[in-house]
Amino acid sequence: MTSRAFTDPGARLSAARTGLIAGALVIIAIVALLVGSRFALMLLIGLGFGVVLEGLRFGFAGPWRAMILRREPAGILAQLLSIAVVACVAFPLLAAHPGELTGAQAPIGFAMIGGAFVFGAAMQVVLGCGSGTLVNAGSGNPVGLLALPFFALGSFAGAYHLIWWTNLGSMPILTLRGTPGLAITLVGLALVAGLLLWIGKPGSRRISRRYVFAALALAGLAVANLVVAGQPWGVVYGLGLWAAKGVAAMGADLSGSAFYAATGSVERLNASVLTDYTSLTNFGMIAGAFGVAAWRSGGMSQPLPSYPARAWIATIIAGVLLGYSSRLAFGCNVGAFFSGIATGSLHGWVWFAAAFAGAFLGIRIRAVSGLEARK
């Protein structure tokens, strides 16, 4: 029986799958025991994000590219559907539980708009947004894996300079609230969907069942994120925290930054990374994507694509820009676009417009960067 398990590919795959499930359960149990049940739940939610995004091949950068290059709106329509579902639950929850729950609310400003534009461009260069870079890295994509540490360093640097950039000029935080706010949000999403359908190529306007399922699953996980953590789904804060912890561990003094000198930042730098919500969901997304890729028959045995040197340089630069710009923009496609709009922040709408404009530039840069895999 033992020899059969080693020689039969089916038995090997089955054993690997059992190991993946057992490993995930053990890690979640350890986090629950050593850190606390809320943090174990957040890790589980993060795993869910990773499984849904990688398992159902759902993302943000790819559908934007499909709309811009081929006028195929289905992917973005699914994103809007997911945001609308979250909004329908989040608006009443936020209204009924102020303090316990907070939305992804941030001010609109010059740096915020510029940051969103740059992020939209950079995410098209590497074809990976905030969540996409994590999922790509976990599933063994070399571009995602290289971009990720530079994304984290960029996020740290962006946070370090955030107050200087924000002081260049920003409006007060503008938020849609309650039933009227929800109605305006849903009408806005419907108008964008209508515009995309109008521009979209005939025959490509229908959202596939896979996309609908992914949109609803993501919405369920995003609501769970809000209920468990008290704050919406985000990505970028955790990445910057990892780099900041690393820099601080090497003896750097971060008190020169208004951001890192703030009381809350100091507390989080000194606390365990396993108590940071965005870190936990980020860990879960990477691990969930790894699990799905390993689960698939042959998913991890694909050879790596070959790229020229300029493609790796473009990946490093885009990684840094993804991190830096998303801090100035008060979030990436997850924290600003998805969670911002779903919890009533007007900066989410402005982020969407600016990042989508940036995506046009990013697609052009990608075409000359050498990142299109060689045939």
Partner 1 sequence: MTRLFNGALAMAGLVLIVGLDTLRSPPNPYQAPPMLALGSGLSTSGGFCGALPD
Does 93 contact partner 1 by CB under 8 A? yes
Does 258 contact partner 1 by CB under 8 A? yes
Give dist(CA 138, CA 310) in Å, integer.
23
Tokens 């590919």 — which residue?
9
Q: Minimum Å distance from CB 146 to partner 1? A: 9
> Measured from the CB atom, is 189 or 287 closer to partner 1?
287
Give dist(CA 113, CA 119) in Å, integer.
10
User: The tokens of 281 are what?
Assistant: 């969901």
Q: Minimum Å distance from CB 353 to partner 1? A: 17
264: helix, strand or coil = helix
Q: Which of 77, 106, 122, 207 binds partner 1 (CB under 8 A)?
A: 106
Give dist(CA 80, CA 201) in Å, integer.
18
Give dist(CA 267, CA 271) in Å, integer.
6
Q: Which helix (H) or strand (E) holds 164?
A: helix 142-166
Does 175 contact partner 1 by CB under 8 A? no
Q: Which of 121, 153, 245, 314 binds partner 1 (CB under 8 A)?
A: 245
User: Which of positions 202-221 make contact with partner 1 (CB under 8 A)?
Assistant: none
User: Which of positions 116-145 make contact with partner 1 (CB under 8 A)?
Assistant: 137-142, 145
Q: What are phi and psi of 134, to 5 degrees?
A: -65, -45
Q: Minimum Å distance from CB 167 to partner 1? A: 11
Does 105 contact partner 1 by CB under 8 A? yes
99: helix, strand or coil = coil
Tokens 């046009």 — which residue?
360
- Cβ-based neighbours of 253, under 8 Å, separated by 6 or more: none
Q: Which of 300, 367, 368, 373 binds partner 1 (CB under 8 A)?
A: 300
Contact range with partner 1 by CB under 8 A, out of 66-74, 100-108, 190-198, 213-221: 100-108
> Measured from the CB atom, is 64 or 277 closer to partner 1?
277
Does 347 contact partner 1 by CB under 8 A? yes
Q: Of 77, 71, 86, which Cα lies nearest the Cα of 58?
A: 77
Contact range with partner 1 by CB under 8 A, out of 83-91, 121-129, 179-187, 336-344: 336-344
Q: Minimum Å distance from CB 209 to partner 1? A: 27
